[in-house]
Structure 1
Amino acid sequence: MIRVVLADDHAVVRRGLTGLLESTDDLEVVGVARDGSEAVDLVLEHRPDVAVMDLQMPVLDGVEATRAIVAAATGTEVLVLTSFSDHARIDAALGAGAVGYLLKDAEPEVLLDGIRAVARGESPLDPRAARRLLTRAAGSRETSAGAAPAGLSPREAEVLRLVVEGLLNKQIAQRLGITERTVKAHLTSAYQRIGVADRTQAALWAQRHDLGGRTP
């Protein structure tokens, strides 16, 4: 069972998210917060696996709440769920320690799969948020299909491009016709080569090194 704290300042959203999660067999809502300060308190009290965090909230916004949760080292991972896809908010949230970034107009299954992905140690990024990260690089250009920056193999570079698109391991495996285990192996190797620890850092690294665009 994946234990979740929800944080959003709109009652309708809180009720909708609670109902959605409680309709599953593997997700349990252990706390619901109306603002960032309440979210921090609930995380410290319940130590959930995942905190689903809105960004724009009273008392303490989602970025500062995320920073406080990460600093508390409770083992809780933060998944941002917001209406905003501008690069400033994305940068702020990821910089504060959020491991995933989804938008509120996503399909319900995308959110549920995103929470599960975070609990597995993955970092789901909405494709639009990922594209915002990429477009910040002035004059960025797609790396040619055979290029492999930082010593990456062509397949590792290909997998990283799909991470930037926001695909999860299962989707990458389906796109490339390989197994999820092989995807994980390529990611582990790529992380070591470029010196990052997780999916979010890898996506940011790819943006800085112009490793973007769709694979063939």
Structure 2
Amino acid sequence: MNVKPLRIVIVDDHPLFRHGVRTLFLTAPELEVVGEAGNGEEAIALAQSLRPDVMLMDIRMPGLSGIEMTRRITVMDPAIRILILTMFEDDSSVFTAMRSGAKGYVLKDADKDELLRAIHAVGNGEAIFSPGIASRMIEYFAVTRPAAREEAFPELSSREREVLYLMTEGASNADISSKLDISGKTVANYITNILNKLQVSDRQEAMRMARDSRRE
């Protein structure tokens, strides 16, 4: 019985990297690269038109970030599974990607066998991480207080979460400054940290993530 190959779209802003991944897949007949995207807008368009099984997604992209693309694509079509393939292994990137709907997280220095295993796992609906990342996640949840395990945005400090939730309630920077008794510059710094850690481009995206987390 012939099994249909997994249909793959590669999303990365480096053409040479996309070419290398495509070339690697030539030795894997069970995978079929059906498209490539070099920026967020292209990736969204390909997701809509091709409806691939798996999208390999870098995090740092021109235009929409890989995090925001993941969020939009999984809302648009949950059947499209996102595997993050990136060089960033910090906890902030990992937690934010998984919260946005990614099913796996693999580093670009992974060998061929690891990458192929990850693609097949994600294509079959499983969650998978590079070994080093999986170990850190296990350690994080093992040492975190039970109440904190369910706390949204573990990558943010308690004060940053406080600022974020005030933002979702419509508080301006001046309101936050007054309520928390901190300077306007400090508020601005907190907001910059929040956007960087959540891998979003503006406060509206951050506020949407915070509101979505409250519904879960």
* TM-score normalised according to structure 2 size: 0.62
Matched, 1:69 2:37: no
The CA deviation string for residues 127-169 of structure 1, in whole angstroms up to 9 with x for no partner, is 111233244458569xxxxxxxxxxxxxxxxxxxxxxxxxxxx
Q: Distance in 2 between matches of 1:137 and 1:114?
A: 22
Q: Which of 93, 98, 117 in structure 2 is aligned with 1:94?
A: 98
The CA deviation string for residues 22-72 of structure 1, in whole angstroms up to 9 with x for no partner, is 321110001100012211111111000000100011111100000010010
Q: Distance in 1 between matches of 2:143 and 2:54?
A: 37
- Residues 1:74 and 1:140: Cα distance change in structure 2 (over 3 Å): closer
Unaligned stretches of 5+ in structure 1? Answer: 142-216
Unaligned stretches of 5+ in structure 2? Answer: 146-216
Q: Choose 1 or 2 for highest CA Rg.
A: 2
Matched, 1:9 2:43: no
- Residues 1:96 and 1:47: Cα distance change in structure 2 (over 3 Å): same
Any idea what SS the aligned residue of 2:29 has? coil
- Letter of the structure 2 residue corresponding to residue 21 of structure 1: F
Q: Distance in 2 between matches of 1:3 and 1:138?
A: 36
* TM-score normalised according to structure 1 size: 0.62
Any idea what SS the aligned residue of 1:94 has? helix
Q: Percent identity?
A: 41
Matched, 1:37 2:53: no
Any idea what SS the aligned residue of 2:97 has? helix
The CA deviation string for residues 70-117 of structure 1, in whole angstroms up to 9 with x for no partner, is 010251100000111110000110000000010100101111111111
Runs of at least 4 residues off by over 3 Å: 134-141
